[in-house]
Structure formats: structure tokens, C-alpha cells
Structure 1
Amino acid sequence: MPAGIRVTVSFPRPPVCPIADLSERAGTTVEDVSTSVSVDGDPVTEFLVDADAVPDDYEHDPVFTYTDRHLYRVCHGAETTCPCTTLGEYDTPVDRFHAAGGDLQVVFHAREFDDVQAIVGEFRSRFDDVDIERLVRAPTGTSARDTVFVDRGRLTDRQLEVLETAFDADYFERPRGATAQELAADLGIAPSTFTEHLLAAQRKLLGDALDTDD
């Protein structure tokens, strides 16, 4: 895996995306995707999809058929804006595309966090509801470090308040600095509610740390 930062971004039903559009219309998942540039300099997207899933009124003809799968090639005009053409404006390798039900997930690599900020900023200016799901820094050189970016934005305000309260009170130390009942009373909530929020927050943060899809 290239050194740098691996970024996972999702786009709920992007308005201009051939693979997301076909995944919704065909009721299938599209994962075998590649991008390139045509001789005219316009971005090109190629993708494989099960032949039986493609609707009869699909406007593109396959350029090749592999037994039971069609290969499609879509050339984007110079003014077309979709996630893959946006990424094409930056010198960043794409790890994978995943389209299902009209939604698109893209995993790409950036060299530095400044590059991530620039790309994400461009995404947010072009697409509504774009979600930065995960940032993971790859180890470099001989270092065994594997730094993970934890997205605190996944927590609700209440979950973050409960987590910070528990941490400040040494709830995670042994012996504990306070009980769940004491901290729940400080927050004015029931102990069961405190535990529910704490477990939900921990699960979200551990999902980031362990690089899972939860």
C-alpha cells in the first residue's frame, strides 16, 4: 500500500456518476472500476457489471463482453463533474470504487493531510452530503507505526459529553475514579442511559481504530 493517508469517502446518490447510476438502475454492485484519460484529454471510466443485471434501456453499449459480464467505457466531457473526475484533478492513486443502490464509496491515497483537506474541500463544494468515513495513515519506512485518524464527528453531542465526563473522572482507570451511577447523576441521566451512550461512543471510535465498517 502506498505511504501516506488512505481516505474512505462516501457519496449518497451523486448526481453525475455513471457507476452509481447503473448500480441503482440495475440493482447490483459495481466494484471493478478503473479510470484513465482519453487521447483528447477527457477523463474515462471503465467498469465491469453482470450482463444479466443491465437494464434493456441502458444508454451505453458494452465495448467488450467477458462471458457473463459487460465492460462499459464512459467518456466524461470537460465540464462533467463527478467524484472520479474530481479525483483526476489531483495526483492521487485510487484504491477502489464501490457503487451499490445509487450510492458511491471511494477509497484513495493522499500523500499528506494538506492534500486530504484540499480534496475533501473540493468534494464538499461539489457534492451535497459527502461523508468522510475513515482516514488511516499508512506506516512509512521501517516504522511499525500505524496511525489512525479517529473521526469524533461520528459521535453525537451527548455521546461525546458522556465519553469526556467518564475520561475526566478516571472511569477507565483501575480502580475506577467514579462509578457509572455517580457520573450519570452528575449528568442528570439514568445509569442505563449513561452506559448506552458510552458503549455507542466506544464502538464508533473502536470501529475507526480497528478500520472496520461498523
Structure 2
Amino acid sequence: MPAGIRVTVSFPRPPVCPIAVLSERANTTITNVSTSIAADGAPVTEFLIDADAVPDDYDRDPVFTYTDRHLYRVRHDAEAACPCVCLGAHDTPVNRYRARDGELQIVFHGREFDTVQAIVGELRAEFADIDIQRLVRAPTGTAAQDTAFVDRGQLTDRQLEVLTTAYEAGYFERPRGATAQALADDLGIAPSTFTEHLLAAQRKLLGDALETDGT
């Protein structure tokens, strides 16, 4: 049985996504999203947004209104090159949406790596600036495993340098092999700058390992 892969990708301000566009206009984060595919192949999406955040000139009426939130429903063009249409063509639903300040992040699952490659290839063809943020392979066999792919490319050159220097010097061991002051001196930076870069690098990598937003 294939283990399967969970994929997290982001799209900076995709103009074809009405949810991402609204998140930027409303200056808010939209995470409560569900979608289905209509008979003609067009995705139909419902999402919740804080009522106070909806722009006055938003030209859609809510399907349902809660105490402080509106539920909207949007229908996508079946021919549009949007992420959910691409995934639907591979019989792969979107598992999670997150739209914030115009950027769309989605999570989906692929049964096999070849399927993931095909989907990512099509998404790259339509969205040149797509960012593959995280790949997580499901456990296989009887061993208790939970494999996460850590993206070192999200670190700046300085953050990687500081993290590597600290690790090689035994900074994370007990007792420590070097002090922050000594390592900062070696790198020619202030101790506060050393600590800032180190914490930023740890936060980003732990975000991958723990599958949270480490930015």
C-alpha cells in the first residue's frame, strides 16, 4: 500500500482565486473554507469571514449570516487555471485553505509521488511563483515513523551561517561548547544579532518539523 504524501503549497496573490483576492481587500485571514465540484466540473466554494472585515463594496450577498461572520459561496470557472480546478482534474480535493493578505496556501494529499509530481508540474506551468512549502510522507511499515521534509531554502544566508556555526561549535549541547558572545565575535556581529538570527532560523525549521507556520 502506498504511504501517500501531504503537500503544502502557496501562491502569492493568485488573481484567479476570489478568496485570496478578498483576503487582501479585507486585510484578514480566511481559513474556514470548504469546496466541492459541480456536475460541469466547476469548483463551488464556501467560506466564512468576519462580518466587520467585508468591504462595503463587496458585490456578493452572504448565503448565511452568523452572529459575527458571513458565509459566502463562490463558483469558479471550470476552465479557469486555478489550483482547485487543477487538483480536481486529478481527483484530488483540497484538504485545507488559508488565504491571508492575498496569498493563498493550500494542503492536499497525493497517493503516490508520481501523482504529486504531475500536480505540482501543472501548477508550476500556471503559477510560476508557486512555493512548495512542505512535503510530509506518511509512515510506512510497522515502525512508528513520521517523516517531515525540512526546507532549508527558507533560511537567509546569514541565518544558515549562524545556525551552522552554532551547531558545529556545540552551542546546542549541554554543557555548551561555546557561548553566544564567542560565536558572535567569530562571526563579527553583535550577540543580540546572533541570537536574533539563530531564533529566526530555529523558528522556521521547527515550523516545518511541527507542521505549523514558522514565519
Above 0.5 in TM-score? yes
Change in 2 beyond 3 A, CA 1:182/1:66: closer
Q: For 2:98 and 2:91, how far apart are their aligned partners in 1? A: 20
| 1:47 paired residue number | 46
Contact 1:33 1:46 in 2 (8 A): yes
Structure 1: give runs of 5+ residues left out of the alignment: none
Q: For 1:13 and 1:82, how far apart are their aligned partners in 2? A: 12
| 2:32 paired residue number | 31
Contact 1:38 1:44 in 2 (8 A): no
Q: CA RMSD in A?
A: 3.2
| 2:18 paired residue number | 18
| 1:8 paired residue number | 8
Structure 2: give runs of 5+ residues left out of the alignment: none
Identity, % of aligned positions: 63
Q: Does 1:186 align with 2:186?
A: yes
Q: For 2:57 and 2:186, how far apart are their aligned partners in 1? A: 62
| 1:211 paired residue number | 211
TM-score by length of 2: 0.76
1:122 match: secondary structure: helix
Contact 2:36 2:44 in 1 (8 A): yes
1:120 match: secondary structure: helix
Shift of 1:87: 1.8
Equivalent AA in structure 1 for residue 43 of structure 2: V
Contact 1:11 1:103 in 2 (8 A): yes
Q: How does 1:154-193 map to 2 (within 5 A)?
A: 154-193=154-193
Contact 1:30 1:47 in 2 (8 A): no
Q: How does 1:86-165 map to 2 (within 5 A)?
A: 86-140=86-140, 142-165=142-165
Q: For 2:177 and 2:27, how far apart are their aligned partners in 1? A: 53
TM-score by length of 1: 0.76
Q: For 2:211 and 2:39, how far apart are their aligned partners in 1? A: 35
- The alignment covers a number of residue pairs equal to 207
